[in-house]
């Protein structure tokens, strides 16, 4: 058959819809998706004919291809992942998992109506800020507080609210980029403030700030180095000194704390980060932080500080554009409530629980997990436990190597690249690390149930390999 004849044998969509197997697909899938899949499968076959790769048209093959395309289109794009990387606040994997009580609160307010902006006592309109303001004040010692969509929005609102049309002074050592596309210099431009850079990458002194102050100065900004460190010959000005300088000249001071540490982590062998509390205590006018880093809550931006300053930000037009939705507020309120009881906090907020698991517990978890993994993988794989490091990740505790014990898997005959791929593409999606040719599974970011799921997935992957 020549190409023209072959093209004439391509099935029509209507003809395919009459088939019994396609009728079954129509029952299981929305019609627009089914039609797209059939058209795409026919189109692919047409291309194949034109390129000489198809020399006979089989209707069954077209339907088979449409079935594959349909399965792909029907699969939810945003779905659960099992995180075996040991990176606790993994930005690409959604940062902090929520506590069970926070999840319950989200479900409750999502399902029905809620007190989002309703004051039960007066029966009148309320403010959505009330749900977290008292808690944030109590936990940070600040006079007032609000929460917005994320910390990038908090920084944008803070700078726009205090320094639009004015100058904002920031040290060159703090002109950072945090993840994807958050650059202080870009945010500054969008907020309408004129950025005045001072000092050098490694050193900025108080007199650098002093000599940059002009009648146009609207803000002194300090950005915490949450995802990098300048090490060696360095100097930055302590927040308390900036506050003192700001007070002398009537200029507010804004600290972007970032990671959102609300408790002393040094007790757990983690690096002692400056906390939101210490920034408030030092006298900053506003302090901002992420809700989903070390606070362990939902994506949100926390703004705490002086009463007048926060009132100004609440009334700013941008505040409406970056406001939180009810589901996030529910999760944030419940997460913050857990901070009132530290025992519950460390047991129930996954991010804090995972960061503070004792090393001995991780080691015994890894031993049991390794036995299950070895049984699943069989003789073709070498499985043992090994000391390694977990990370806080996601712009939090940048330099911290947190000791852990991983389950380490190597193929005796080939590589583990295919194994890693099968885990990633399987159901559920499992994300693991490969290091020096070995597949590493860190129990720190896994539940016991997830460890069992990984063992099952490995058994399947090895069988199908
Ligand atoms: C993470 C971080 C941000 C960005 O916060 P998002 O919640 O991701 O918007 C800004 N500043 C600092 C210092 C950070 O650590």
Give the tens place of pLDDT for each residue, 291-339: 999 999 999 999 999 999 999 999 999 999 999 999 999 999 999 999 9
State the pLDDT at residue 176. 73
State the pLDDT at residue 224. 86
Q: Which long-range contacts (CB under 8 A, 24 or more apart) does 420-428 make?
A: 422/457, 422/460, 422/461, 422/464, 422/465, 423/454, 423/457, 423/458, 423/461, 426/457, 426/460, 426/461, 428/79, 428/80, 428/81, 428/82, 428/453, 428/457
State the pLDDT at residue 48. 95
Question: Which three-class secondary structure state does DSSP give residue 296?
Answer: coil
* Domain boundaries along the sequence of the chain: 3-74, 81-90+355-464, 100-344
Report how far residue 163's alpha carbon sits from residue 245's, in angstroms, rounded to the nearest whole number: 17
Backbone angles phi, psi at 162, to 5 degrees: -105, -25
Q: Any idea which of 155-169, 233-247, 330-344, 348-362 has the lowest mean pLDDT?
A: 233-247
Mutate to test the pocket of ligand 1, among 177, 258, 394 (most ligand atoms within 8 A of CB): 258
Could you tell me which residues come within 8 angstroms of residue 69 by beta carbon, excluding any fewer than 6 positions away?
36, 37, 40, 41
395 lines ligand 1 (CB under 6 A): yes
Q: Which fold has domain 100-344?
A: 3.40.640
Helix/strand/coil percent split, the chain, to 5:
50, 20, 35
Mean pLDDT of the chain: 94
State the pLDDT at residue 457. 98
Helix axis angle, 151-163 to 307-315, nearest 10°: 100
**% of residues, the chain, pLDDT over 70:** 97
Rounded mean pLDDT, 355-366:
97
Cβ contact 107:261 at 8 Å: no
State the pLDDT at residue 180. 62
Phi-psi region of 95 (alpha: psi -120 to 50; beta: other; left: phi over 0): left
397 lines ligand 1 (CB under 6 A): no
Q: Tell me how far the alpha carbon of residue 104 lies from the centroid of ligand 1, in angstroms.
A: 27
State the pLDDT at residue 395. 61
State the pLDDT at residue 178. 67
**% of residues, the chain, pLDDT over 90:** 86
Indicate if the pLDDT at residue 383 is higher than 70: yes
Residues 210-234 as b or e (16 or more Cβ within 10 Å = b): eebbeeebbbbbbbbbbbeeeeeee
State the pLDDT at residue 396. 65
Q: Which atom of ligand 1 is nearest to the CA of 224?
A: 13
Indicate if the pLDDT at residue 349 is higher than 90: yes
State the pLDDT at residue 200. 85
Mutate to test the pocket of ligand 1, among 173, 182, 236, 275 (most ligand atoms within 8 A of CB): 182
224 lines ligand 1 (CB under 6 A): yes
Report how far residue 23's alpha carbon sits from residue 36's, in angstroms, rounded to the nearest whole number: 15
Six-digit token pair at 360?
């001995």
* Tens of pLDDT, residues 30-81: 999 999 999 999 999 999 999 999 889 999 999 999 999 999 998 899 999 9
* Tens of pLDDT, residues 106-141: 999 999 999 999 999 999 999 999 999 999 999 999
Extract the runs of DSSP E, i.e. beta strands, from 120-263.
124-125, 144-148, 167-171, 177-178, 182-183, 194-198, 217-223, 253-258
Report how far residue 393's alpha carbon sits from residue 314's, in angstroms, rounded to the nearest whole number: 31
For the domain made up of 81-90+355-464, the CATH class stated in words is alpha beta
Residue 125 pairs in a beta bridge with 118
Six-digit token pair at 335?
């997460």
Q: Using CB atoms within 10 A of its CB, is residue 391 exposed (0-12), middle (13-18) or buried (19+)?
A: buried
Confidence band of 393 (pLDDT split at 50, 70, 90): confident
State the pLDDT at residue 174. 86
Rounded mean pLDDT, 210-217:
97
Indicate if the pLDDT at residue 225 is higher than 80: no
Confidence band of 281 (pLDDT split at 50, 70, 90): very high
Could you tell me which residues come within 8 angstroms of residue 62 by beta carbon, excluding any fewer than 6 positions away?
10, 11, 16, 38, 41, 42, 45
Q: Which atom of ligand 1 is nearest to the CA of 227?
A: 15
258 lines ligand 1 (CB under 6 A): yes
Cβ contact 432:406 at 8 Å: no
């Amino acid at each position: 058959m020549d190409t023209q004849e072959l093209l004439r044998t391509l099935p029509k969509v209507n003809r395919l819809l009459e088939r019994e197997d396609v009728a079954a697909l129509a029952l299981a899938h929305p019609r627009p998706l089914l039609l797209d899949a059939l058209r795409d499968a026919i189109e692919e076959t047409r291309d194949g004919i034109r390129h000489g790769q198809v020399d006979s048209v089989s209707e069954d093959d077209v339907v088979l291809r449409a079935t594959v395309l349909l399965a792909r289109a029907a699969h939810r794009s945003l779905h659960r992942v099992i995180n075996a990387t040991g990176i606790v606040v993994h930005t690409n994997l959604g940062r902090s998992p929520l506590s069970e009580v926070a999840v319950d609160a989200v479900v409750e307010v999502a399902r029905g109506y809620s007190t989002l902006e309703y004051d039960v006592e007066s029966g009148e309109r309320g403010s959505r800020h009330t749900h977290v303001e008292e808690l944030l004040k109590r936990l940070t010692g600040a006079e007032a507080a609000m929460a917005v969509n994320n910390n990038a929005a908090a920084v944008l609102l803070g700078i726009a609210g205090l320094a639009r049309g004015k100058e904002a002074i920031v040290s060159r050592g703090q002109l950072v980029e945090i993840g994807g596309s958050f650059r202080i210099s870009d945010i500054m431009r969008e907020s309408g403030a004129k950025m005045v850079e001072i000092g050098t990458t490694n050193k900025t002194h108080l007199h650098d700030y002093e000599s940059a102050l002009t009648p146009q100065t609207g803000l002194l900004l300090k950005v915490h180095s949450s995802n990098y460190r300048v090490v060696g010959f360095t100097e930055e000005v302590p927040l308390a000194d900036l506050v003192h300088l700001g007070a002398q000249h009537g200029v507010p001071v804004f600290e972007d704390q970032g990671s959102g540490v609300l408790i002393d982590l040094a007790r757990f062998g983690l690096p002692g980060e400056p906390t939101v509390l210490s920034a408030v205590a030092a006298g900053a006018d506003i302090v901002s932080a992420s809700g989903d880093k070390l606070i362990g809550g939902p994506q949100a931006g926390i703004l705490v500080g002086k009463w007048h300053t926060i009132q100004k930000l609440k009334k700013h037009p941008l505040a409406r554009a970056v406001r939180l939705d009810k589901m996030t507020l529910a999760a944030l309120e419940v997460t913050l409530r857990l901070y009132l009881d530290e025992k519950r906090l460390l047991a129930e907020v996954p991010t804090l629980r995972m960061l503070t698991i004792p090393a001995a517990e991780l080691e015994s978890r890894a031993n049991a997990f390794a036995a299950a993994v070895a049984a699943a993988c069989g003789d073709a794989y070498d499985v043992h436990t090994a000391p390694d490091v977990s990370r806080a990740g996601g712009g939090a505790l940048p330099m911290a190597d947190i000791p852990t014990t991983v389950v380490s898997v190597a193929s005796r005959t080939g590589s583990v690249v295919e194994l890693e791929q099968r885990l990633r593409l399987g159901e559920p999606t499992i994300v693991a690390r490969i290091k020096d040719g070995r597949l590493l599974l860190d129990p720190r970011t896994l539940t016991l149930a997830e460890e069992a799921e990984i063992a099952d997935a490995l058994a399947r992957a090895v069988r199908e390999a």
